[in-house]
Structure 1
């Protein structure tokens, strides 16, 4: 019997993850516990003398307006990893430098390639860690932040959850954000839901995500070696 894996990331990524899980012998259950929403950006307020654009999430590209993309597409863009670089190229950026998947590593790559005093436009989400921008700022480069999207928790009615999870216990849960982890803890703690998650293992993208789970779940948590889906799925497969 295929292990049932709950996929909690927002769409469209959740469906893509489900396909990957099916290909390697898991039975995915898609139930996003957070969603990303576009934020308005005043393109006219962005300085015209930016030397480069930096992006640490593909969502920052997906939720950017056409006007914003058009105003920046001629500049060099530093992307945190493969998926973000792909999203940037598809959006119209011609010069895309692909990082290794780590935000601080991307900052170091920018510092190595751009001269002192360079100005970086950072497209990002409202909910984020500050590792990238702090590393850039500490080095003397100037970073200008534009938030193109927000992340919000999704709460489902109990009957909707029961319908989505029908079919037996959940064997594993993939958690990509602190908001999703908080929502999952609340869900698993409900009297009618507890049995579905009684033996589930929680696979978290980072320490921050894991810290948002309840204490009762701590002995069933595994954390990816790096904050990428490839690392998360490798962890899941190794635990099978």
Structure 2
């Protein structure tokens, strides 16, 4: 049975582990990042906001009740299925599920909201392309940073306890920050040779690039930046 290391933060890590078990793999959970809520002044939301955009389920999970009370009546545009589900659960009354890609979501919203302002529920750590595309198209973007993403540091003892003495076959990488943390884990002297034959599956080319000093390590990139495409790489293994 192939051993697959899941590096995403909770609660997603446990959810992915259950999916892997159902697929016939042996999951090991090692969250390399964690999310922390940030305060957002609900009173600072502009009256001119015409819609809300969300590219991460964490952004809405960490939104305060005060902020949601201000935003819930606005149309919400979510990047994909999982984010749309989180938005509905948080209290948005009207949610549109997007194409699964942040830049494609920006392109679709640019047509509908040119000359208007949207509120972007987001994390402090994020790629700028979504906002840049909208602003280039004449859409005003008010960013509300509801959470931060922090790297998780493990002691040598904790790593050995979680990984055991048998190497993993595949590592799943969901973010650039997690990939950078994975690079540091792989370079620990106590794990010398542990990842020598491991395959690394990355959600996107940006994530793969964060594993930049792992020359010689096989890295495969998902066809689309979502978990379905990432797990499809596993299904394609011989």
TM-score under structure 2 length normalisation: 0.97
Structure 1 position 88 matched with structure 2 position 97: no
Paired residue secondary structure (2:14):
helix
3-state secondary structure, aligned to 1:227: coil
Q: CA deviation at 1:195?
A: 2.6
Alpha-carbon shift at residue 179 of structure 1 (Å): 1.3
Shift of 1:160: 0.5
**Corresponding residue for 1:234?**
232
Judging changes above 3 Å, is the alpha-carbon distance between structure 1 residues 177 and 218 closer, same or farther for their aligned structure 2 residues? farther
1:105 is matched with 104
- CA drift of 1:21 comes to 0.5
Structure 1 segment 69-88 matched on structure 2, within 5 A: 69-88=68-87
Where do residues 20-59 of structure 1 align in structure 2 (5 Å cutoff)?
Answer: 20-59=19-58
1:159 is aligned to 2:157: yes
The answer (yes or no) to whether the contact 2:110–2:138 under 8 Å persists in 1 is no
C-alpha distance in 1 between matches for 2:73 and 2:234: 40
Equivalent position of 1:119 in the other structure: 117
Gaps of 5+ in 2: none
Q: Which residue of structure 2 aligns with residue 208 of structure 1? A: 206
Please list the CA deviations of residues 73-101 of structure 1 after superposition, one character each: whole Å capped at 9, or x if unmatched.
00000000000000000111111011010
Distance, in Å, in 2 between the alignment partners of 1:47 and 1:113 is 19
Q: Residues 186, 135 of structure 1: CA spacing in aligned structure 2 closer, same or farther, 3 A cutoff? A: same
| 8 Å Cα contact 2:200-2:217 kept in structure 1 | no
2:28 is paired with a residue of what secondary structure?
A: strand
Distance 1:194 1:29 in 2: 19
Give the structure 2 partner of residue 11 of structure 1: 10
Equivalent residue, structure 1, for 2:197: 199
After superposition, give the CA deviation of every residue in 1:136-161 in whole Å (9 maximum; x if it has no partner).
Answer: 00001111111111000001000010
1:217 Cα offset (Å) = 4.2
SS in 1 for 2:185: helix
1:51 is paired with a residue whose SS is strand
What is the aligned counterpart of 2:129 among 124, 131, 150? 131
Deviates more, 1:42-51 or 1:14-23: 42-51
The alpha-carbon distance between structure 1 residues 218 and 74, as it changes in their structure 2 partners (threshold 3 A), is farther
Alignment partner, residue 187 of structure 2 = 189
1:132 is paired with a residue whose SS is helix
Q: Distance in 2 between matches of 1:138 and 1:214?
A: 31
SS of the residue corresponding to residue 147 of structure 1 reads: strand
Report the CA distance between 1:198 and its aligned residue.
Answer: 1.4
Q: CA deviation at 1:181?
A: 1.0
The CA RMSD measured in Å over matched residues stands at 1.2
User: Is the 2:121–2:144 Cα contact (8 Å) retained in structure 1?
Assistant: yes
Q: CA deviation at 1:219?
A: 3.9
Other structure's SS at 2:150 match: strand
* Unaligned ranges ≥5, structure 1: none
Instruction: Count how many residue pairs are aligned between Structure 1 and Structure 2.
Output: 238
